[in-house]
């Protein structure tokens, strides 16, 4: 039997509302395993849903899942949970830009073996193609 909104309900509501995800009873019990039992979590979530503080929907594999949406009310005395921030794109759009190769990090003339004979043991050897 539901006892109304208790401090335990408030703690679980904050957790679900700040996460902005959908939580099953089992998943929430795992997150709060030493503090709440499976039956306590289920009872608190049903109480919060009846009060309009959480929304419930049926999930094919998890059963009933609970979440905080825009249609849900906030608990009295609690602040509205912050909206989730959208992370910026990790990199630039590669499709709409043109390719700019990176500047080489080696010094000018580093791979010019004809001007630097010391790399060829002091001898200037011209390139000969294997196909003649």
pLDDT score of 2 more than 60? no
The average pLDDT across 60-75 equals: 85
Predicted pLDDT at 130? 72
Whether 116 and 109 have beta carbons less than 8 Å apart is answered as yes
Angle at 72 between CA 66 and CA 75, to 5 degrees: 100
**pLDDT tens for residues 25-61?**
888 888 877 777 888 888 888 888 988 888 888 888 8
- Write down the domain spans for the chain: 7-67
Predicted pLDDT at 1? 44
**pLDDT tens for residues 82-121?**
766 555 555 556 667 677 777 767 777 666 666 665 555 6
What's the Cα-to-Cα distance from 56 to each of 45, 106, 122, 129, rounded to whole Å? 9, 61, 81, 75
pTM: 0.58
List the CATH code of the domain at 7-67. Answer: 1.10.10.10
């Amino acid at each position: 039997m539901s006892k109304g909104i208790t401090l335990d309900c408030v703690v679980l509501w904050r957790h679900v509302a700040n996460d902005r995800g959908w939580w099953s009873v089992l998943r929430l019990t795992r997150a709060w395993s030493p503090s709440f039992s499976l039956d306590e979590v289920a009872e608190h979530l049903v109480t919060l849903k009846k009060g309009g503080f959480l929304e419930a929907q049926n999930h094919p594999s998890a059963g009933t899942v609970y979440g905080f949406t825009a249609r849900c009310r906030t608990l009295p005395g609690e602040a509205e949970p912050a909206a989730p921030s959208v992370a910026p794109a990790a990199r630039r759009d590669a499709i709409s830009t043109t390719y700019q190769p990176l500047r080489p990090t080696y010094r000018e003339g580093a791979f010019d073996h004809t001007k630097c004979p010391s790399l060829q043991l002091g001898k200037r050897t011209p390139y000969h193609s294997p196909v003649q």
